[in-house]
Amino acid sequence: MSVSASTIPAAAWRADFPALNQEIQGHPLVYLDSAASAQQPTAVIDAVSKYHREDHANVHRGVHTLSHRATEAYEGSRDKVRDFINAGSRAEIVLTSGTTEAINLVAQSFCRPRLQPGDRILITHLEHHANIVPWQLVCEQTGAELVVAPINDQGEVELDTMLDLIDAKVVLVAMAHVSNALGTVCPVEAVIARARECGVPVLLDGAQGVPHLDIDVQKIGCDFYAFSGHKMFGPTGTGVLYGREALLEAMPPWQGGGDMILEVSFDETIYNELPYKFEAGTPNISGVVGLGAAIDYLQAIGMQNIARYEHELHDYMVSELKTVEGIRLIGEARNQASAQSFMLGDIHSHDLGTILDHQGVAIRTVHLCSMPLMQRFGISGTSRASLALYNNREDVDHFVAALGKAQEIFG
Amino acid sequence: METARDMQDLYRELVLDHSRNPRHFGRLDGATHTADGINPLCGDKLKLYLRVDEQGLIEASGFEGSGCAISVASASLLTEAVTGLPVDEADACASVVTRRLGASNAETDTDTDLGTNLQKLKALDGVRAYPSRIKCATLAWFALHSALSNDTAPATTE
């Protein structure tokens, strides 16, 4: 289902998020930090609460009723995730603590056994630290080389250069679907097409993709897709690694413990089947229940409707920001989603963040977990406003007015 | 405006003045003591320089680096405050200032009373209402303490 942007009932969406209905320092909260962590709708809060009140027990273990209910709810969420990103099978949905754990899993279980000195992992210059440091670690462990594809001044991946860097020496390409710092929607289709030709698997860091785009992993054609629950209106401590079944099947477990085994003796342990092989220990059951509720919520609205609404709002925010004297936009990619980074005169972003908070406006400041990207733009930090489905034009207007106040104070 | 007034408690004129025109900014020639200060949360980075004479007096100080208005102003005020002080007094200042800025507003100021040479540092008291900003204000003072304690051979002949 899709409707035109003007008839989208965004005001009703906003009312679904109780945390937004409060004042900060005497001003209505304007939450523009969803790229760091999104607020949760009542449906998610209630699902988690109901689980704790009525259904909690450990999963995959007991014969009793509560354990059965908890297992149904937990595994039900896995099915919802599969449907949400259109994975081919539930065996391809590994539940993790977040994007970071999902990427580390691939680094240690997929890459580490394969990497030889001289092999390469290819990333881009706009990655979040979570898509840099796990690769640095595995490169240190194996003698492989981390290669970084450049970006241009607009904050877009230099595609031709990146495609040229993909060859048989590359064991994995790992790149953001959407940049957390710049909002750039990356040209993943072209990268995947080229990687396919060379037989190189591709991991997408989808932490900022999933909340804003309609994701179909089979259509995208990636081999791994990692994302977090809390950036898509679910609880913190939840995340997903989608992996192509044949790849996951060939990978060794990455953590040992309960639930990931079929049979244990001191001589030999037989690992559980997919996806449980990668889920050692008692998982974040209530969080995953909440993640399932978040997916229900998003699917009821429709990701295409969300994307269309946010795109229009992002355009409005950028055009309003451009009217602010002394503003410098960091990242002006042709295709952006949700986030916009900027600097205001020579006001340090930490000062700006405090002044805006004083007017109820929550933004992210300084390095945005992307220090190499900041270095690329020759700055030590920036400020970022990020939009979600519950934001509206009044939020943008408050935000722009608050920037004016900051200029008054710093004259 | 209420907002503007509240914010002016944090960004007082003296703080804004020192952040816009930091005193003793730049590398100090002939420094006998240096220390780096890094606040990774907010990206403040500074290097503090001291030149201590043979009597153990700080005859010159300076700093360079980048950071928010609070951290730059605090470092600038530090260089004004400690120049001319004996090193032990300067170190004592570091401890008084960091304790004062970290103290809650509810506490009395008697334990962290600023001596006459530190009166200007009261301009930074506004950070006490902003827990996320206290480290910005104390960074230079921690750097002062580490500059004075790391180098065990200051130029004192006594």
Q: Give the pLDDT mean for B83-96.
A: 93
Domain boundaries, chain B: 2-150
Q: A359 near A28, Cβ under 8 Å?
A: no
Which residues of chain A lie closer than 8 angstroms to B2, CB-CB? 26
Q: A172 pLDDT exceeds 90?
A: yes
| A-chain residues near B69 (CB < 8 A) | 347-348, 351, 410
A365 neighbourhood in chain B, CB within 8 Å: 42
CATH architecture of A5-31+302-410: Alpha-Beta Complex (3.90)
pLDDT digits (tens, 9 = 90+) for A18-75: 999 999 989 999 999 999 999 999 999 999 999 999 999 999 877 899 999 999 999 9
Q: What is the mean pLDDT of residues A176-183?
A: 97
Tell me the pLDDT tens digit for each residue of B143-157.
999 999 864 433 222
Rounded to the nearest angstrom, the minimum Cα separation between A313 and chain B is 27
Chain-chain contact of A348 with B16 (C-beta, under 8 angstroms): no
Write down the domain spans for chain A: 5-31+302-410, 45-300
Residue B108: per-residue pLDDT: 52
The answer on pLDDT for B90 being more than 70 is yes
Residue A343 predicted with pLDDT over 90: yes
Q: What pLDDT, in 10s, does the model give residues B18-57?
A: 999 999 999 999 999 999 998 877 778 899 999 999 999 9
- Check: CB of residue A209 under 8 Å from CB of residue A242: no
Q: Is A166's pLDDT higher than 80?
A: yes
Predicted structure pTM score: 0.92
Averaged pLDDT, A140-162:
98
Interface contact A250, partner B, CB < 8 A: no
pLDDT 10s digits, A347-359: 999 999 999 999 9
ipTM: 0.84
CATH for B2-150 (3.20.20.80, 3.10.20.740, 3.40.50.300, 3.90.1010.10):
3.90.1010.10
Q: How confident is the model at residue B7 (pLDDT cuts 50, 70, 90)?
A: confident
Instruction: Kindly calculate the radius of gyration of chain A based on its CA atoms and give it in whole angstroms.
Output: 22
List the 372-401 stretch of A: residues with Cβ below 8 A of B. Answer: 380-381
Computed over every residue of chain A, the mean pLDDT equals 95
pLDDT band at A392; cut points 50, 70, 90: very high
Residues of A designated catalytic: 369
Q: Say if residue B112's pLDDT is above 80.
A: no
A45-300 maps to CATH 3.40.640.10 = yes
Q: Are A270 and A261 in contact (CB under 8 A)?
A: yes
When pLDDT is cut at 50, 70 and 90, the band that residue B111 belongs to is low
Q: Would you say B16 and B29 are in contact if contact means Cβ atoms under 8 Å apart?
A: no
Q: Is A114 exposed, middle or buried (0-12, 13-18, 19+ CB in 10 A)?
A: middle
- A311: how many CB neighbours lie within 10 A of its CB? 17
CB contact under 8 A, B4 and A408: yes
> What pLDDT, on the 0 to 100 scale, is given for residue B117?
75
CA distance B88 to B93: 9
pLDDT tens per residue across span A78-128 = 999 999 999 999 999 999 999 999 999 999 999 999 999 999 999 999 999
